């Protein structure tokens, strides 16, 4: 995948480098330039984290690299610092390409490059959807040193214009590589990789190691350095992980109760509430506002400028509550989030890891509370197996929850009515069709296939129901026959 699009690998030998024992080292020990060390010092960063200590020397020595460590472990600087050092030894553009799965993460990575590289005159740009393509094309034509992009928008530029080239890039970085390589971005990645030079350094960073990353380590990278955090526990030790058992019908009342208790006990604390869908996120945001909880929503159906504004108000602590989908769960480094509140249990355990990783970062403490319904027990078991930790039951006062149940239920119904009036579902459908068109697919054909599958599933359920009914009737007849015979 990284070398040849026909599936052949340019290098099959893999060396797994040993992880260095943890000791107190400085950035000077890692052979970083003085200007960079001084810049880090002004930011209050004086010693490298374990992933930085292990990966920076390998990258500076020209090796491909796979780095896996917990969220909040300093992965971004682990690749940004060596890239900046190599860039300013021989500055040109485009020198490095960083791909990320989400727009918000792209902007955050760009900020970290800027804050370290501004002293040396770094030029960078962010290429993501939701922004003007013409303006982006003009910026790319100026050959910035570093391009941070989402795969979809960058592939669009490569297919629609020839004002820039990626043939000279020295570094390709896939941040949150597990998400980028899970299949959703395959076509866009093929377009991008076809535009890249064969001779380059490829760096993959992720919070979780997956089978795909293991496969790439063995067949598709040239003698890569591999670092994985030594701990068996996927989440950090400073994170207090809890759950609340609740029926589905009163889940939001429990959420409001927990939120109120948290905000009362921590007047300056911040909380991220994660939801499962864009509509659920918007409904909950509207309902919480009507209940007296100012908040900022964040999901993929919002215009990009509104998404950035929401994130900005939360980061600046203007708003203490962020209601978000999993678009906010990956890589975002938001200062001092004291609580992550999961409105639903993620179906994939690794998504739970990324969600709760928004708190307890950089050695700080934090708490994560997950609302668990009677249908989610198996999901919690899968999460506990992955993180090698048992979630602790969060004590709650049911009478206090029941007191606010009616008020919360009314607020939710009113929020759903308001959202229907705003044609939320219609706009979602338009965005979905637009996305398919950009991928070269016919929305009507995709919809027809989807309907056909739904009909087949429905027919299968009916047939299953008929069989079950027949078995039940036969069983009842046998029982009646046995009773009559006995009598």
Residue 166 has pLDDT above 90, yes or no: yes
Radius of gyration of the chain (CA): 26
Interval 439-451 mean pLDDT: 73
Helix (H) or strand (E) holding 188: helix 186-194
CA distances from 283 to 84, 408, 464, 471 (A): 43, 12, 36, 43
DSSP-derived secondary structure letter, 197: -
Instruction: Provide the pLDDT for residue 36.
Output: 94
Closest Cα partner for 438 from 207, 133, 17?
133
**Dihedral Cα 225, 231, 233, 236, nearest 10 deg:** -90
Q: Which residue has the higher pLDDT, 440 or 286?
A: 286
List residues bridging with 367 in a β-sheet.
240, 339
Instruction: Provide the pLDDT for residue 147.
Output: 98
**Model confidence at 467, in pLDDT bands (50, 70, 90)?**
low
Instruction: Provide the pLDDT for residue 456.
Output: 80
List residues bridging with 306 in a β-sheet.
none
User: Is the omega angle on the peptide bond into residue 269 within 30 degrees of 0, that is, cis?
Assistant: no
Residue 79 has pLDDT above 70, yes or no: yes
CB 192 within 8 A of CB 100: no
Residue 78 has pLDDT above 90, yes or no: yes
**What whole-number distance in Å separates Cα of residue 154 and Cα of residue 240?**
39
**What whole-number distance in Å separates Cα of residue 47 and Cα of residue 32?**
12
**What whole-number distance in Å separates Cα of residue 214 and Cα of residue 211?**
5
Instruction: Provide the pLDDT for residue 9.
Output: 40
Interval 478-486 mean pLDDT: 48
**What whole-number distance in Å separates Cα of residue 97 and Cα of residue 192?**
10
Please return the burial class of 108, using the count of CB atoms within 10 Å of its CB with bins 0-12, 13-18 and 19+.
buried
Interval 91-99 mean pLDDT: 95
Neighbouring CB atoms inside 10 A of 343's CB total 18
- Which residues in 325-475 belong to E strands, given as ranges? 339-342, 366-372, 392-393
Q: Which residues contact 190 (CB under 8 A, 6 or more apart)?
A: 5
Interval 173-186 mean pLDDT: 89
Sign of the dihedral through C-alpha 230, 236, 238, 244? negative
pLDDT in tens, 373-432: 999 999 999 999 998 899 999 999 999 999 999 999 999 999 998 888 776 666 666 677
Interval 302-326 mean pLDDT: 90
Interval 124-138 mean pLDDT: 93
**What whole-number distance in Å separates Cα of residue 102 and Cα of residue 100?**
6
User: Is the omega angle on the peptide bond into residue 177 within 30 degrees of 0, that is, cis?
Assistant: no
Closest Cα partner for 74 from 215, 194, 205, 267?
205
CB 103 within 8 A of CB 304: yes
> At how many degrees (to 10) do helices 278-290 and 424-438 cross?
150
Percent of the chain with pLDDT over 90: 55
- Which residues in 350-469 belong to E strands, given as ranges? 366-372, 392-393
Instruction: Provide the pLDDT for residue 6.
Output: 37
Interval 238-250 mean pLDDT: 93
**What whole-number distance in Å separates Cα of residue 236 and Cα of residue 72?**
9
Q: What angle do CA 277, 280, 286 make, to 5 degrees?
A: 140
**Dihedral Cα 376, 379, 380, 383, nearest 10 deg:** -160
Instruction: Provide the pLDDT for residue 426.
Output: 63
Q: How many CA atoms lie within 13 A of 179 on its CB side?
A: 22
Predicted TM-score (pTM) of the model is 0.67
Instruction: Provide the pLDDT for residue 429.
Output: 67
Instruction: Provide the pLDDT for residue 255.
Output: 97
Instruction: Provide the pLDDT for residue 230.
Output: 72
Closest Cα partner for 295 from 432, 130, 411?
411
pLDDT in tens, 322-349: 999 988 887 666 767 999 999 999 998 9
CA distances from 306 to 74, 296, 430 (A): 28, 10, 18
Interval 152-165 mean pLDDT: 93
Q: Which residue has the higher pLDDT, 220 or 173?
A: 173
Q: Picking from 238-242, 393-397, 410-414, 471-475, which range would have the lowest pLDDT averaged per residue?
A: 471-475
Sign of the dihedral through C-alpha 82, 88, 91, 94? positive
**Model confidence at 476, in pLDDT bands (50, 70, 90)?**
low
Closest Cα partner for 289 from 322, 328, 338, 312?
322
Residue 444 has pLDDT above 90, yes or no: no
Domains of the chain in start order, with CATH, are: 34-228 (3.40.50.300), 239-422 (3.40.50.300)
Helix (H) or strand (E) holding 322: strand 321-324
Percent of the chain with pLDDT over 70: 82
Instruction: Provide the pLDDT for residue 481.
Output: 52
Residue 485 has pLDDT above 70, yes or no: no
- Which residues in 100-188 belong to E strands, given as ranges? 124-127, 146-149, 171-175
**Sheet strand arrangement including 239-245:** 296-298, 321-324, 271-274, 339-342, 366-372, 239-245, 392-393
Instruction: Provide the pLDDT for residue 465.
Output: 65
Query: How much is the mean pLDDT over the chain?
Result: 85
Interval 98-120 mean pLDDT: 92
Residue 215 has pLDDT above 70, yes or no: no
pLDDT in tens, 4-23: 333 334 343 433 444 444 55
**What whole-number distance in Å separates Cα of residue 309 and Cα of residue 200?**
36
CB 185 within 8 A of CB 101: yes
Q: Which residue has the higher pLDDT, 436 or 456?
A: 456
Interval 458-486 mean pLDDT: 60
Closest Cα partner for 367 from 358, 376, 379, 380?
358
Instruction: Provide the pLDDT for residue 380.
Output: 95
Closest Cα partner for 383 from 343, 341, 355?
355
Interval 79-108 mean pLDDT: 94
Instruction: Provide the pLDDT for residue 246.
Output: 95
Instruction: Provide the pLDDT for residue 486.
Output: 45
Closest Cα partner for 27 from 50, 49, 47, 44?
47
Q: Which residues contact 379 (CB under 8 A, 6 or more apart)?
A: 345, 346, 347, 349
């Amino acid at each position: 995948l990284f070398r040849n699009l026909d599936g052949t690998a340019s290098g099959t030998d893999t060396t797994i480098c040993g992880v260095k024992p943890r000791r107190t080292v400085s950035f000077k020990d890692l052979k970083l330039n003085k200007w960079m060390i001084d810049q880090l010092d002004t930011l209050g960063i004086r010693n490298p984290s374990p992933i930085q200590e292990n990966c920076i020397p390998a990258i500076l020595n020209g090796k491909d690299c796979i780095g896996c460590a917990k969220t909040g472990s300093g992965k971004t600087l682990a690749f940004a610092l060596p890239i900046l050092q190599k860039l300013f030894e021989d500055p040109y553009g485009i020198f490095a390409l960083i791909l990320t799965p989400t727009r918000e993460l792209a902007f955050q990575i760009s900020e970290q490059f800027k804050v370290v590289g501004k002293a040396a005159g770094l030029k960078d740009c962010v290429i993501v959807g939701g922004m003007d393509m013409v303006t982006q094309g003009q910026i790319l034509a100026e050959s910035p040193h570093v391009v941070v992009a989402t795969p979809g928008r960058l592939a669009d530029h490569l297919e629609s214009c020839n004002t820039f080239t990626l043939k000279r890039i020295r570094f390709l970085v896939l941040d949150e590589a597990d998400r980028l390589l899970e299949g959703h971005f395959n076509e866009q990645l093929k377009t991008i990789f076809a535009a890249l030079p064969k001779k380059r350094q490829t760096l993959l960073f992720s919070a979780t190691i997956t089978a795909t990353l293991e496969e790439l380590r063995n067949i598709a990278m040239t003698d890569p350095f591999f670092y994985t955090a030594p701990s068996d526990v996927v989440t950090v030790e400073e994170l207090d992980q809890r759950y609340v058992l609740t029926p589905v019908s009163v889940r939001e009342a429990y959420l409001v109760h927990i939120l109120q208790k948290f905000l009362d006990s921590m007047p300056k604390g911040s909380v991220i509430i994660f939801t499962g869908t864009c509509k659920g996120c918007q409904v909950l945001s509207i309902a919480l506002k009507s209940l007296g909880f100012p908040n900022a929503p964040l999901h993929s159906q919002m215009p990009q400028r509104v998404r950035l504004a929401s994130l900005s108000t939360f980061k600046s602590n203007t708003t203490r509550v962020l209601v978000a989908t999993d678009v906010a769960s990956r890589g975002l480094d938001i200062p001092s989030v004291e609580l992550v509140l999961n409105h639903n249990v993620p179906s994939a355990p690794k998504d739970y890891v990324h969600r709760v990783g928004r708190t307890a970062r950089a050695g700080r403490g934090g708490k994560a509370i997950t609302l668990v319904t009677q249908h989610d027990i198996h999901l919690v078991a899968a999460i506990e197996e992955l993180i090698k930790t048992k979630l602790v039951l969060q004590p709650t006062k049911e009478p206090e929850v029941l007191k606010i149940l009616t008020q919360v239920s009314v607020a939710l119904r009113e929020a759903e009515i308001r959202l229907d009036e705003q044609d939320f579902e219609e706009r979602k459908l338009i965005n979905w069709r637009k996305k398919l068109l950009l991928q070269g697919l016919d929305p009507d054909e995709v919809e027809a296939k989807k309907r056909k599958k739904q009909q087949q599933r429905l027919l299968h359920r009916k047939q299953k129901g008929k069989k079950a009914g027949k078995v039940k009737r036969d069983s009842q007849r046998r029982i009646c026959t046995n009773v009559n015979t006995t009598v």
